[in-house]
Structure 1
Amino acid sequence: MADDARTRTAGPSRPLLVLGFGLVALAGVMLLLSLALAGTESATLRSLGRPLRAPLALLVLLGVLLALVGHALRPRGQDQEPQGAGATTWLVGDSTDFVRSALAPDTGLASAHRGLRPPEPAWSSRVFRDIEWERFEAVCVRLFALAGLRAQDTGAAAGPIELWQSSGGPDRPVALLLCRHPAGLVGIDEVRAFRHQVAASGLRRGILATGGSFTPDAQRFASEQGIDALDGAGLLQRIGLRTPPQQSELLQLAYQGEYWRPTCVRCGLKMVESASGRGREPLWTCADAPRCRFTLPVHARD
């Protein structure tokens, strides 16, 4: 379900990098020591310095190879240092603390990086703009659970979710729920595709929820086809009908963890943000790139 997001760890890259740089540093120390011994007047000390120079080339070569392997094993999201003007800068943060999130200067991404300001103290449309798709889905699932409908994942990330009566209902799902993150308007093509999914599941009721809004033709089509088109205003109205403790629970669920960083729908990993100075639009890219090439656009949020 939506609460099972996983974060990527450094893996074996850090030990390899430390060992590689350590061997190079050791070679440097041995070189300095051998040069110091070679400059002494004692023949015995000079003879001790010569063997120290023998393994230097091997140590440096081995250290460089280990460092290169360690660097290659690092997820792309860990490369944080700018590479010069016009190069790609990776914006990452291992902490959920919004204060510690970092931005490269002059990238124009400050309004899009949701970790830069504290969460909203109460429910409003801004909450939907603050959170990523998986947090939005978690809120929708919990909201329907409070209304007596438990969710059962169909197995597809960011896909439809079956809603079942919590108790006393039929032994089958009663509706199909699809949560769409509020990144603009939901058009008629999305509603039509969801209608086909509802029909293929054999259910009569479908609920398409978004924190944004629907285009007029999408709203009309949904009404004609028996699809409940639940926009941001409708969601806020339903949330407002819950008790204050339940509203607080839903708000905490929305702002859980790195709520502002999207989750890759293919890998379940938190994504990393890239910005380019060459005229390309900034993107969210999977932390497992290039093995996973899933991307999302970075939407500016006020």
Structure 2
Amino acid sequence: MPSLRQALATYINHDAEADELDNIQANKEIVWTENLLKSIEWKLFEDLCMEFLRIKNCDAKVTSTGADGGIDIKITDRNGIVFAIAQCKAWSKPVGVKPIRELYGIMAGERIKLGLFLTTSGFSEDARNFADGKSLILIDSREMVEAINQLAPNGRAKLDGLIRQNDYQTPTCVNCNTKMVKRTAKTGPNAGNAFWGCVNFPRCKNTMKVRKQSDASSTHQ
């Protein structure tokens, strides 16, 4: 697989990577670790990936919530043509080969030259084997944290700001794009158990499990 920088080099200019970013005042630099990355809810992780790509001087835009057949981010070239698509999944379990095959299928169907899959977890051996030799870049939690920590100070500050300015652990409703609230089931087999519910209930009945503290990442599938 090509590196992220190598794959994007044909389409973008890296020279201005950090210089064009706005300065964000920070009292203290956030320490980026895999544990922090795994604690970020799915929607903010998408926003984090988009900002990371923008720091790399990509023209990246997040697609509408829950739309585009699983495409989370589109990247356009100098002429405004989409040349890359990305999926960003805040999952706790390793990504298997199926989502990678689906991403590659979207690329083939829409004649997209490059595909990226970024996750807060890792990838199975089958997933990596499938991506090998193709225009696919798989970025797991370790690689993502390393890439963030290697950014210039202004780039780091930009991503730090996302964490400081947001409730980064409370999940977002995929239907309504609003933060969910923690509720307790009153009846049924899960009575007494906490869960995340949409603030727009009963109009929206979307729910998510409350994950254990040791496995705090919200799963959006």
Contact 2:37–2:145 (CA<8 Å) still a contact in 1? no
1:292 to 191, 196, 204: 204
Displacement of 1:230 after TM fit?
0.7
CA distance in 2, matches of 1:126, 1:301: 11
Displacement of 1:156 after TM fit?
4.2
CA distance in 1, matches of 2:182, 2:40: 15
Secondary structure (helix, strand or coil) at the match of 1:185 reads coil
Q: CA RMSD in A?
A: 2.3
Per-residue deviation, residues 57-93 of structure 1 (Å, max 9, x unmatched): xxxxxxxxxxxxxxxxxxxxxxxxxxxxxxxxxxxxx
Secondary structure (helix, strand or coil) at the match of 2:88 reads strand
CA distance in 1, matches of 2:37, 2:164: 10
Q: Which amino acid aligns with 2:157?
A: S
CA distance in 2, matches of 1:195, 1:212: 20
1:181 to 90, 105, 116: 90
What TM-score comes out, normalization by structure 2 length?
0.73
The percentage of counterpart residues that share the same residue type is: 27
Q: Which amino acid aligns with 2:147?
A: R
2:60 equivalent to 1:148: no
Larger of the two Rg values belongs to structure:
1
Q: Which amino acid aligns with 2:106?
A: Q
TM superposition outliers: structure 1 runs of 4+ over 6 Å: none
Secondary structure (helix, strand or coil) at the match of 1:213 reads coil
Contact 1:135–1:255 (CA<8 Å) still a contact in 2? no
Q: Which amino acid aligns with 2:177?
A: G
Contact 2:181–2:199 (CA<8 Å) still a contact in 1? yes
Deviates more, 1:142-151 or 1:267-276: 267-276
Q: Which residue of 2 aligns with 1:44?
A: none
Per-residue deviation, residues 95-119 of structure 1 (Å, max 9, x unmatched): xxxxxxxxxxxxxxxxxxxxxxxx9
2:116 equivalent to 1:204: no
Contact 1:150–1:163 (CA<8 Å) still a contact in 2? yes
Q: Which residue of 2 aligns with 1:217?
A: 126
More relative contact order, 1 or 2 (CA 8 Å, 6+ apart) = 2
CA distance in 1, matches of 2:156, 2:180: 28
Displacement of 1:200 after TM fit?
2.4
Displacement of 1:120 after TM fit?
8.8
Gaps of 5+ in 2: 1-27, 215-221
Gaps of 5+ in 1: 1-118
CA distance in 2, matches of 1:126, 1:266: 27
